[in-house]
Amino acid sequence: MKKLALVALVGVLCSILLAACGGSNSGNTSSGGSSCDATHVTMTSNTFCENSITISKGSTITFIDDKNSGTEHILVIGQNGSVATEQGAADLGGSNGHTFQAGDSFTTPAWNTAGTFHVTCTIHPTTMNLTITVQ
C-alpha cells in the first residue's frame, strides 16, 4: 500500500514538474519553432500563423514554411487562391507566385505603398488568406 502511494506521489510530482518546465505557447510560434509576427509569417500544412498583419511602409515580410508541414505552398498576391493585381503590393513572383517546400523561406521586397493587400496560397485557397496592412 505504501509503495502504491509513493508511486502515485512521484507521478503527481513529475506531472507538476513537466507542466512547470513546459512553458507556454503564446500562439506566435509554429510547431517548427519559427516566429510569427508582423515581419515573419510561418505557414503550417494549410494555414498562415495569422490572418492579418500590419507593417510599416518600407518593411519586408519573411514567409517561412514550417519544416514539419510536409506541404507545398504557392503564394501569390490575391485572395481565395486567385491571382489579383493589387497596385503597390510587393512582388511575390508575378502570376506564378513563389513556391515553397517544407522548411523554405522567402523575404519579400519592401512594401513601399501604404494600403491593404492580400496574399493567398493557390494550393490552399480556403484556409490560407493573409491580409497585410501597410502604414
| The model's pTM | 0.73
Centre a 10 Å sphere on the Cβ of residue 83 and count the other Cβ atoms it contains.
16
Q: Specify the CATH number of the domain 28-134.
A: 2.60.40.420
pLDDT for position 92: 94
Of the candidates 62, 69, 60, 61, which has an alpha carbon nearest to the alpha carbon of residue 101? 69
Of the candidates 69, 72, 67, 64, which has an alpha carbon nearest to the alpha carbon of residue 130? 64
Please write the tens of the pLDDT for every residue from 86-125: 999 999 998 999 999 989 999 999 999 999 999 999 999 9
What would the grid cell of residue 13 be? 510530482
Distance CA 10, CA 16 (A): 10
Q: Would you kindly state where each structural domain of the chain is located, as residue ranges?
A: 28-134
